[in-house]
Amino acid sequence: MVEQVLDALLGRLTPSVASAIDRTLAGHDLSVEEAVTLFDCVGPDQQALVLAADYLRREQTGDLVTYVVNRNINFTNVCIKKCGFCAFSRDHRTEEGYLLPTEEIVRRAKEAWELGATEVCIQAGLPPKMEGDLYERLCRALKDELPDMHIHGFSPEEVLYGSIRSRCGIPEFLRRLKEAGVGSLPGTSAEVLVQEVRDRISPGRITVDQWVEVITSAHELGIPTTSTIMYGHVETSEHKARHLALLREIQRRTGGITEFVPLSFIHTEAPMFQHGLVEDVRESATGPEVVKMYAVSRLMLGRDIQNLQVSWVKEGPRFAQLLLDAGANDFGGTLINESISTSAGASYGQLVRPAQFRALIREMGRIPAERTTGYAVRRVFRDPADDPVEPLDTVEYDERRFGTYDILIHQDENRFRDTFVGVGGKG
């Protein structure tokens, strides 16, 4: 049926769009130029693009929609970088800066494990004068307490910074992280992997070449990574297409990328939007742009990176549902608490319970399944009557319990001292 609808649509489409879709469905690579054409399409052309993406998703991954039970631990918001899109980071001298001690990070991870989590995602700012072995110590402490918890930790930017602070090369630093317990790296800090875009929105941040070096070095050491794009600000359709082409090339060379996650720019609190720091910055991506980002990603990456994850944090659960019909096959993680997107103004980001994931997935006519970080399926939930009651389904969400009480950083003769405080710096 889908093939018949596509065949009927292709005859009524803009010729360049019809050609790009037809060639991709026939097994040919989508070129950068063809991807640009699809990113710019509208109306019936866009409808055909989405239908083609859903067709390929079914062919490549079937009707399962996966999710992972995990917790984000953003252990410090203190950062030496001043990225124009980031509303999370703080200078170490500000009252809102915090740094969680190791025992609090471990406590949060243990709580997540008791609630059914199989993964902790560890990412943070880049604190000044950081001890070079900080990340290793955190991982060893987590593994000592929770040997079976998967540590999905440290962005390429953090890996680069850690290697600099440790005075060693990137491969050596990654080897140390792996020995300390890191199981995979988040492929964040990618933004758009086109240097002229990065120079506008985050000058001084990790370069494209450095990002690629970290990712490929991790793969060579047997550390898998995810991959992302952060779009909807100043980039063009060509920039997005070049980003996807680079990820495809990396994956064909290394095979180490487990998933691709499009992340739309949240403008609300972003400095480059609020303070006019970047000319012509937009108020994030439009709805059609988000849909096309997912659909084009499935067409361009699907044969090499099969897992396309919706970001319910960025788009909200209901819009994320609809993206399951635009090529996506994964709903991401429960998170339990997430700070980075919510700091930027995202309306979502604290918690989606496993039962909610299953309901959202079933409402789209798909089959929910819990997975590991590496996309091994743990449990398939075909019959709602057989659904278990998970610990995370019944726990009451308490902001104090789940991480609003952080630790402020104060400057005292160039040394940090940690002080527990409440929300907004009030004890």
Phi then psi for 368, rounded to 5 degrees?
Answer: -80, 145
pLDDT tens sequence across 393-419:
988 755 545 544 333 333 333 333 343
3-class secondary-structure state, position 261: strand
How far is residue 317 from each of residues 63, 186, 412, measured CA to CA in Å?
Answer: 19, 22, 44
Task: Say if residue 384's pLDDT is above 50.
Answer: yes
Mean pLDDT of the chain: 85
Domain map (residue ranges) of the chain: 2-58, 63-398
- Tokens for 169? 């090369």
Summarize pLDDT for 268-285 with one digit per residue, the tens: 555 554 544 556 766 788
Percent of the chain scored above 70 by pLDDT?
A: 80
CA separation for the pair 381, 397 (Å, rounded): 24
Top CATH class of 63-398 equals alpha beta
| Global confidence as pTM | 0.87
What's residue 2's pLDDT?
62
User: What is the C-alpha R_g of the chain?
Assistant: 21
The region that residue 178 occupies, defined by phi over 0 for left and psi between -120 and 50 for alpha, beta otherwise, is: alpha
Indicate if the alpha-carbon torsion angle 361, 60, 227, 46 is positive or negative: negative
In the predicted structure, residue 154 carries a pLDDT above the cut 70: yes
- Which pLDDT score, from 0 to 100, does residue 98 have? 75
Q: What is the mean pLDDT of residues 359-381?
A: 98
Give residues with Cβ within 8 angstroms of 110, minimum separation 6. 145, 146
13-64 confidence digits (pLDDT tens): 999 999 999 999 999 999 999 999 999 999 999 999 999 999 999 999 999 9
The pLDDT, as a whole number, for residue 83 is 54
Query: Cα(8)–Cα(10) distance, rounded to whole angstroms?
Result: 6
pLDDT tens profile 213-271: 999 999 999 999 999 999 999 999 999 999 999 999 999 999 999 999 999 987 555 55
Q: Residue 203 has what pLDDT? A: 85
Give the pLDDT mean for 67-87: 77
